[in-house]
Structure 1
Amino acid sequence: MPPPPPSDGTVRSAAELNRQIRALWPHPAVRLSDEQRARYEVLVAEWAAAVRAEMVEAA
């Protein structure tokens, strides 16, 4: 099971999460395992939340 997002109140930046997503899935032709797919979905959800938070902060 993928690790949960940090629970200590820290929030990773969208750029850091994007880097982790790219490292997990280096090429679209590569198929992810079920575990990798679950981790990818967690990272993408966290990335989307970080992007929204950064947009609100910038406004």
Structure 2
Amino acid sequence: MSCLPTSSRSVRPAAVINQEIRELLQRSDGLVLCAADEATYQRLLVEWAAATGTSTRRPAA
């Protein structure tokens, strides 16, 4: 039995998530995101990473 939590939610295509990220950043006109948009951005990044099988963490220098 796995110790990892499972999710019944299906993974959306990375292209769809990427488009949402682009739209979110376009709405900000390159300015700092408000708290709600920053939370949405972080959630989308995690979702995108899951969809692509990558990590949102940067490698150590």
Aligning the two structures, in what range does the TM-score lie when normalised by the shorter sequence?
Answer: 0.5 to 0.7
Which ranges of 4 or more aligned residues in structure 1 deviate by more than 6 Å?
A: none
Q: Which has the higher contact order (CA 8 A, sep 6+)?
A: 1
Name whichever of 33-42 and 10-19 sits farther off. 10-19
Structure 1 gaps of 5+ residues are 1-6, 54-59
Report the number of matched residues. 47
TM-score of the aligned structures, taking structure 1 as reference length: 0.66
Aligned position for 2:50: 49
Identity among equivalent pairs (%): 38
TM-score of the aligned structures, taking structure 2 as reference length: 0.64
Over aligned residue pairs, what C-alpha RMSD do you find? 2.1
Tell me which structure has the larger Cα radius of gyration: 2
